[in-house]
Amino acid sequence: MPTTEELFGGTMLSPVRDPYSVYRRLRVEQPVLLVQGILGEDYLVTRYDDVLAILKDPERFSSRGNARGIGLVMGRTILEMEGPEHVRQRKLVTPFFAPSALRGGLEKTIAAIVDDLIDGFAGAGRADLVSQFTFIFPIQVICHIIGIPVHDFEAFHRWAIDLISVGDDPPRGLAASQYIIDYLRPVLEERKAEPQTDLLSSLARAEVEGQRLEDMEVLSFLRLLVPAGAETTYRLTGGLLYALLTHPEALEQVRADRSMLELALEETLRWESPVQYVSRETTVPVSIAGIEVPASSMLSVAIGSANRDPDHYRDPDRFDLERRPDDHVAFGLGQHFCAGSNLARAEARIALNALLDRLPDLRLDAAQECGMRGLAFRSPNQLPVLFGR
């Protein structure tokens, strides 16, 4: 049984350069492969049709398996809930990420955060758009939505990264989990005493079936939302910028016709899915691509591989604005479709428009190296750019 490191040359959180060549081989030779990871054995599923079937069938492929992985540091959250329980809990947070919330003023807040960051480097003629921009603004946005003091965003981003590292470094992930709890507990007490209009205040007084959420239920929600709100959008925005900056003709199309930005965004989600895996657990014995998988087995569902399956997408390794990839699975599918997908798309769209509006002749600095990195999560390691002043 191969390990993740033997397959890909790195662990799930390592800066792996090219997982797609491995996926290409596995889809043909071993589309369902038992792999040994730090937290146990997983069946790695790589073909689009198999991934789609799993995501559409929560009865046989349950999300409860997340309790064995990310649940170790986040506690019990909607990631592992199913059925009516999942629906009730999800309804508590979706209003803060819905299109109506964006229309209600959140888009203006995002734009203000974005413009403030661009102010910091617009006069320099050069920047690293990862360290100076994409890494920073999404955590500031999610801190604003939750009601966490924005000046603490750096600590929260560090904890968010440590939190999702639990599969590679369990002690590091567990320590970050406790740091977040210790920080947020007194803030929660303040919101319970003096509610505001933020998500934390809403959760503090939320009820499910007539019962108030317990403090740890609220805090577990927040341990989920901080990394989800920061990491996904940071990586999506970076991937979108990388795609366009390395395809100058596509960048010029978007610059000339901003309606093309929506196509670029969806193609980025397919081409370089920011989150490459979701976890599922079999509830009964199943057969996947001719492989018999026992009940209670963990599956690593490779959505990044599915989104580059040549049996579903023509020339899948090419970034193509003509593709119209409206069936990608970058945000999952069904009941567990990403609740923050509208927010992530809005943040990426606002960020890209602002950069194109304010940085004339935006282009990569060819003298410096950059590239997409990662296995479980994909994003550029840096984006050195030049532009007019």
pLDDT band at 382 (very low <50, low <70, confident <90, very high): very high
Is the confidence at residue 232, as pLDDT, over 80?
Answer: yes
**pLDDT bracket for residue 51 (50, 70, 90):** very high
Phi, psi of 292 (to 5 degrees): -80, 125
Find the mean pLDDT for residues 258-275. Answer: 96
Least confident of 3-7, 24-28, 202-206: 202-206
Determine which helix (DSSP H) or strand (DSSP E) holds 268, and give its type and residue range.
helix 260-271
The β-bridge relationship of strands 32-37 and 40-45 is antiparallel
Residue 293, SS3?
strand
Tokens (6 digits) for 78: 């909607």
Q: Which two tokens stand for residue 61?
A: 């492929």
Distance between CA 114 and CA 108 in Å, rounded? Answer: 10
Q: Which of 25-29, 154-158, 320-324 has the lowest mean pLDDT?
A: 154-158
Burial class for 361, CB neighbours closer than 10 Å (0-12, 13-18, 19+): exposed
Residues 189-202 have a mean pLDDT of 89
Give the pLDDT confidence score for residue 387 in this predicted structure: 96
Instruction: Give the pLDDT of residue 330.
Output: 93
Is the model's pLDDT at 234 over the cut of 80?
yes
Q: Are 204 and 191 in contact (CB under 8 A)?
A: yes
In this predicted structure, the answer to whether residue 87 has a pLDDT above a threshold of 80 is no
Q: According to the model, what pLDDT value does residue 328 have?
A: 94
Of 331, 354, 334, nearest in space to 342 by CA: 331
Model pLDDT, residue 73: 64
> Residue 188 is encoded by which pair of tokens?
């929660």
Check whether 180 has a pLDDT greater than 80: yes
Q: Are 303 and 336 in contact (CB under 8 A)?
A: no
Question: For residue 181, what pLDDT band results from cuts at 50, 70 and 90?
Answer: confident
Higher pLDDT, residue 319 or 336 = 319
Give just the sign of the alpha carbon dihedral 38, 42, 48, 51: negative
| Per-residue pLDDT at 383 | 98
248 falls in which pLDDT band (50, 70, 90)?
very high
Residue with more model confidence, 388 or 162: 388
Taking the C-alpha atoms of residue 302 and residue 330, their distance in angstroms, rounded to an integer, is 10
The pLDDT value given to residue 38: 65
Mean residue pLDDT across the chain: 88
Q: Which of 135-144, 219-228, 364-373 has the lowest mean pLDDT?
A: 219-228
Higher pLDDT, 224 or 130: 130
What type of residue is 383? L
- How large a percentage of the chain has pLDDT more than 70? 91
CA distances from 214 to 87, 207, 318 (A): 18, 10, 48
In the structure, what pLDDT confidence band is assigned to residue 47 with cuts at 50, 70 and 90?
very high
Q: What are phi and psi of 281, to 5 degrees?
A: -125, 135
What pLDDT, on a 0 to 100 scale, did the predictor assign at position 71?
64
Give the pLDDT mean for 41-58. 96
User: CA-CA distance, 369 to 217, in Å (whole number)?
Assistant: 44
CA distances, 168 to each of 10, 14, 124, 369 (Å)? 10, 9, 38, 26
Map residue 13 onto helix, strand or coil.
coil
**What's the CATH number for 4-386?**
1.10.630.10
Percent of the chain residues topping a pLDDT of 90: 55
Amino acid letter, residue 111: A
Yes or no: say if 312 and 325 are a contact pair by the CB < 8 Å rule: no
How much is the pLDDT for 305? 98
Residue type, 351: A
Which is nearest to 97 in space by CA: 88, 85, 89, 106? 106
Task: Confirm if 111 and 350 have CB atoms less than 8 A apart.
Answer: yes
